[in-house]
Amino acid sequence: MFKIKYLGNSYHCDSGETILDAMLRQGVDFPFSCRKGSCHACLHIAEEGTLPPESQKGLSDDQINQGLFLPCCCKPIDSLSIAPKNTRDRGNKRADTHQNNTVLSPDPEMWEALENGRVLSAILDDFYTAAFSDERLSPFFHDVTRQRAQEKQYLFLRKKFTGEKVYFGDRPRNAHHWMVISNDLFDYREALMVDCLKRHGLPDHLVARWVALENSFRPDIVKDKPWNRKIGDMEIPVSGFGEITLDIGSICDSCGSEIAQGETVRYQLRLGTLYCPDCMYSLREE
């Protein structure tokens, strides 16, 4: 058994147990997501003690030299004193330095490699062609056209890589609020994306950075049951119908007939589809 000092307290880690598991077992509020070294959400710094090599697998030389390690992959071989990674982010080191596994936003090197968007379009074309015919991913895109999915993703990534304010869609937590996506499915999609990035010649260190960017959203996307949409602190229900009185006329999404201004109609909370008075009472609550 090893002793782990963390934020002024001392914890026990059994041999063969990871530090992450030991912390969670002892009720510590510890950041984590994928539990297998991909997402880096649990990255911490070792201030004293010797780390096992597998706890630093996939980190850059710079991160290794700073003593950063992944508690989810760390079965200790020594007692350790550890701290949150930001403890050592002192003024001499900006959070956006060019390291392979660091999320950069904006990322001019990435944007140049993507030939100012030309290669990004080609990558997304490839990726969504594959996703829309993939048996695990395509069911999620049931109500979405490929063009819409590609355009949204292009603008989202363009904003991340250039800093330009070109994306006005939902943030990932809300965009995927109803989708039950496991870590395994997230990894599966990621592997498909990595294949596309490599096919289009993106160098390995930029592929790693792209993956790190997407993984930084893993905690917003992976879940075992749907979440409500969240706007500020307000939770919006996932399914069912609401009622509104129309300010301007519209068209019924069910029968196609016109709905006059001033009519009260039902709308689907997730999709926003409208139903005229004739259709609305025949609808089942989802």
Window of 46-54, 152-160, 204-212, 253-261 that interacts with ligand HEM by CB under 6 A:
152-160
Structure tokens at 45: 């710094």
Q: Does 169 bind ligand HEM (CB under 6 A)?
A: yes
User: What angle is formed at CA 216 by the lines to CA 215 and CA 220, rounded to 5 degrees?
Assistant: 95
Q: Does 107 bind ligand HEM (CB under 6 A)?
A: no
Name which of residues 42 to 81 contact ligand HEM (CB under 6 A): none
Closest residue to bound ligand HEM by CB: 169
In this structure, the chain runs to a length of 286
Of 2, 186, 210, 275, the residue at the interface with ligand HEM (CB under 6 A) is 186
Q: From CA 226, how far away is CA 228, in angstroms rounded?
A: 7
Q: Does 180 bind ligand HEM (CB under 6 A)?
A: no
| R_g over Cα of the chain | 23
* Closest alpha carbon to 229 in 238, 221, 242, 220: 238
In angstroms, give the least distance from the CB of 190 to ligand HEM.
7
Window of 27-35, 84-92, 149-157, 278-286 that interacts with ligand HEM by CB under 6 A:
149-157
User: Do residues 82 and 46 lie in contact, with contact meaning Cβ atoms separated by under 8 Å?
Assistant: yes
The strand ranges marked E within 107-233 are 229-231
Q: From CA 110, how far away is CA 120, in angstroms rounded?
A: 10
How far apart, in Å, do the first and last CA atoms of the chain sit?
52
Q: Does 214 bind ligand HEM (CB under 6 A)?
A: yes
In angstroms, give the least distance from the CB of 280 to ligand HEM.
22
Numbered residues of the known binding site for heme: 176
- List of residues contacting ligand HEM (CB under 6 A): 137, 140-141, 144, 149, 152-153, 156, 169-170, 172, 175-176, 179, 181, 185-186, 189, 214, 217, 221
